[in-house]
Amino acid sequence: MTAQTAAAGTAAMPGVTTASTRSARRTFGVDVGGSGIKGGLVDLDTGELVGERTRIDTPQPATPHAVADVVATLVANFDWDGPVGITLPCVIKGGTARTAANVDPGWIGTDATALFGGVLAGRKITVVNDADAAGMAENCYGAGKDVDGVVVLLTFGTGIGSAVIQDGVLLPNTEFGHLEVDGKEAEHRAAASVKEEKDLSWKEWAPHVSLVLRRLEDLLWPDLFIVGGGVSRKADKWIPLLDNRTPVVAATLRNTAGIVGAALAVDTGVAP
Ligand code: BGC
């Protein structure tokens, strides 16, 4: 059964909530990363993908128009004509990208909502920062679920993304990856890409992560750190090596957090 026919088959009496009407709360998320653009249909009741996740290589250079074309191709692979939430590794204000630290500089000043709206005509589009999306996904379905207080999620990849959430409410566009820590930008010190480029062992890399977390815990006094990105798959190798007073846990949604968070953002309509 296709996504559309599945949704059509779940019609029920207005106001009556059944298991089948609940499972109809679906929407589409796309996560634009430095090397891959990933998308999938998300069940918003469970935070799980309905069917496959699709990935297409990020075009190089990742200019706004090149990325928009890939996003359109990716969405067209699915039987879905509803709203689409999209992440970008940029500060997003009112649908416009304001920064482009690890992506083509042509994004700065691009009205991303209008751009994606152009290639996905007639649909509701919401564009959010990638780490904010991952943070909200972890908050709703993952390691941040039911956690009271201030939660800081950090994604370790090419750069470091951040999301700050208090009692379920996101403070958008925090950009702690660019905080100066001991004379160096946090993401130039402790991103996963630094570990890879310098061929650092977990033991060599972990103190840099600790230093970044220490700076953040002194400034924000969070109740929990959630660490995400590809390196969270190996969390048991490095979380025990951290020396911080705040509890640190691994993200649980792994490679779907951005997709799920993007879908959540377009569903709730909450966008910075
Ligand atoms: C960008 C952030 C982004 C993070 C992770 C940083 O360099 O400034 O906006 O969330 O990388 O992709």
Phi, then psi, of 245 in degrees rounded to 5: -85, -20
CA 91 to ligand 1: nearest atom: 9
Can you tell me the mean pLDDT for 44-48? Answer: 97
* Closest by Cα among 99, 90, 163 to 129: 90
Ligand 1 center–CA 26 separation, angstroms: 27
CA atoms of 16 and 95, how far apart (whole Å)? 35
Same domain for 41 and 126: yes
- Of the listed ranges 20-24, 59-63, 144-148, 236-240, the one predicted with least confidence: 20-24
- Looking at residue 171, what is its pLDDT? 97
Give the pLDDT band of residue 269 (cuts 50, 70, 90): confident
Pocket of ligand 1 (CB under 6 A): 89-91, 99, 101-102, 129-131, 155, 157, 159, 161, 175, 177, 187
Boundaries of domain holding 233: 145-252
Give a yes or no: residue 140 inside a domain.
no
Same domain for 215 and 128: no
Give a yes or no: residue 123 inside a domain.
yes
Three-state DSSP at 227 gives strand
pLDDT at residue 78 above 60?
Answer: yes
pLDDT at residue 72 above 70?
Answer: yes
Ligand 1 center–CA 79 separation, angstroms: 31
User: For residue 87, what are the β-bridge partners?
Assistant: 31, 128
Same domain for 153 and 126: no
Same domain for 156 and 120: no
Same domain for 262 and 241: no
pLDDT at residue 113 above 70?
Answer: yes
Ligand 1 center–CA 217 separation, angstroms: 20
- Looking at residue 271, what is its pLDDT? 63
CATH for 233 = 3.30.420.40
| pTM of the predicted structure, to 2 decimals | 0.91
Same domain for 172 and 108: no
- Centre a 10 Å sphere on the Cβ of residue 242 and count the other Cβ atoms it contains: 17
Give a yes or no: residue 127 inside a domain.
yes
Can you tell me the mean pLDDT for 170-191? Answer: 97
> Looking at ligand 1, which residue's alpha carbon is closest to its atom 10?
161
Mutate to test the pocket of ligand 1, among 187, 231, 255 (most ligand atoms within 8 A of CB): 187
- Looking at residue 272, what is its pLDDT? 61
Same domain for 155 and 119: no
Mean pLDDT score of the chain: 91
Q: What is the amino acid identity at position 248? A: V
pLDDT at residue 254 above 90?
Answer: no
Contacts for 27 with CB less than 8 Å, ≥ 6 apart: 41, 42, 44, 82, 83, 84, 85, 263, 266, 267
Give a yes or no: residue 154 inside a domain.
yes
- Looking at residue 270, what is its pLDDT? 65
Same domain for 263 and 177: no
Ligand 1 center–CA 2 separation, angstroms: 35
Measure CA of the first residue to CA of the last residue in the chain; give whole Å: 36
> Looking at ligand 1, which residue's alpha carbon is closest to its atom 9?
90
* Closest by Cα among 180, 168, 261 to 219: 180
Give a yes or no: residue 138 inside a domain.
no
Same domain for 83 and 58: yes
Same domain for 192 and 173: yes
Can you tell me the mean pLDDT for 7-31? Answer: 54
pLDDT at residue 5 above 80?
Answer: no
Give the pLDDT band of residue 100 (cuts 50, 70, 90): very high
Mutate to test the pocket of ligand 1, among 107, 108, 175, 231 (most ligand atoms within 8 A of CB): 175
Give a yes or no: residue 234 inside a domain.
yes
Q: What is the dihedral of CA 92, 98, 102, 107, to 10 degrees?
A: 100
Same domain for 163 and 115: no
Q: Quick check: bond before 14 cis, omega within 30? A: no
Can you tell me the mean pLDDT for 13-34? Answer: 66
- Looking at residue 6, what is its pLDDT? 31
Ligand 1 center–CA 160 separation, angstroms: 6
* Closest by Cα among 165, 159, 173 to 129: 173
Mutate to test the pocket of ligand 1, among 37, 160, 180, 232 (most ligand atoms within 8 A of CB): 160
As given in the structure block, the two tokens for residue 46 are: 């469970």
Number of folded domains in the chain?
A: 2
pLDDT at residue 196 above 60?
Answer: yes
Ligand 1 center–CA 23 separation, angstroms: 33
> Looking at ligand 1, which residue's alpha carbon is closest to its atom 5?
161
Phi, then psi, of 144 in degrees rounded to 5: -100, 0
Give a yes or no: residue 59 inside a domain.
yes
CA atoms of 122 and 139, how far apart (whole Å)? 30
Give a yes or no: residue 15 inside a domain.
no
